[in-house]
Structure 1
Amino acid sequence: MTQLIDVVRAYFRGIEQGDLDAVLACYWHDALQIEWPNRLKSKGDRRLVGQLVADFARGQRILSSQTYEVQRFAETSDFVMVEVLWKGELAIPVGKLAPGDQMIAHSSIAFDFKDERIVSQRNYDCFEEF
């Protein structure tokens, strides 16, 4: 059995490398992602895989690069909770930040799994001032 944290790490690596196919390979076909309210999305967001595809392309226009540094995680047979430090280098201005500046978020992300693929994801993102 594959450790689920390996799937999560592959998911983050796919995002970092801009590899949509690698990201989608981590998801179940009808997965749901919930982003709870934060500085970027005051009302939060709920996305199915189809919307994730569109948002992936939009993210690549906003960010030159991004990284996920897993700080710690907890794992059960069908659940992973991670704390990550996310850094994104901006391609466009956002708030007080100019292109080339870094946007930083401290995040906790909860992943539910079925057959070693993500079926739901809940993001709790705390962005540093921008």
Structure 2
Amino acid sequence: MAEEMSLGKPPLELVLDFVRTLEAGGGAARIRPFLADGFVLVEAPHLLAPAGSTRTLEQVLAGADNSAGVVANQKFEIRRTTCEQGRVVLEADWSATSLMDLRYWDAGETIRARTSSVFEVRDGRIVSQDSYDCYYTS
């Protein structure tokens, strides 16, 4: 279903559909149709990953399935979008409920971050995402 939805859509619409899929619980099978075979996710250093990270498609899909045991009720409040050809920039306030004790949050608490992501879309698929997340505890 998501595969049919993602094909042929304008880049901004594709990225927003991807975000809505994440909010709905995501999971590898649901997000895979949005992502190109060579997809790469680059996360700048942040509170939960001080060294940052670079993940391949396979790592992202494994993480998507594992995230169901870490967070629930993901919500992206879109603040602003910019789109130029195949590049989509998304600024959002993100929140989720922690399902386990983490360094700065206990299980049941709400995790919050201001996030900016730069997506590259080519041939109806997201080929990369560079994310800049600013987590906060209040």
Tell me the TM-score normalized by structure 1: 0.92
Given residue 134 of structure 2, which amino acid in structure 1 is its aligned partner? Answer: C
Contact 2:71–2:97 (8 Å) recurs in 1:
yes
Query: In the alignment, which of 30, 39, 64 is matched to residue 72 of structure 2?
Result: 64
1:49-90 Cα offsets, whole Å, 9 max, x none, are 100111112211111221111110100111000101100111
How many residues align? The count is 130
Hey, what does 1:9 align to over in structure 2? 16
1:106-130 Cα offsets, whole Å, 9 max, x none, are 0000001111211111000000027
What is the RMSD computed on CA atoms of the aligned residues? 1.5
Aligned pairs for 1:96-115 (under 5 A) are 96-115=104-123
- Structure 2 regions of 5+ residues with no counterpart? 1-7
Contact 1:90–1:100 (8 Å) recurs in 2:
yes
SS at match of 1:15: helix
1:4-39 Cα offsets, whole Å, 9 max, x none, are 111111111111122332311111011111001000
1:51 aligns with 2:86: no
Tell me the TM-score normalized by structure 2: 0.87
Q: How far apart in 1 are the matches of 2:108 and 2:74?
A: 12
4+ long deviations beyond 6 Å: none
Query: In the alignment, which of 100, 122, 130 is matched to residue 122 of structure 1?
Result: 130
Contact 2:41–2:129 (8 Å) recurs in 1:
yes
Q: How far apart in 2 are the matches of 1:97 and 1:31?
A: 30
SS at match of 1:38: coil
Percent sequence identity over matched residues? 23
Hey, what does 1:37 align to over in structure 2? 45
1:82 aligns with 2:90: yes
Hey, what does 1:26 align to over in structure 2? 34
Q: How far apart in 2 are the matches of 1:40 and 1:96?
A: 9
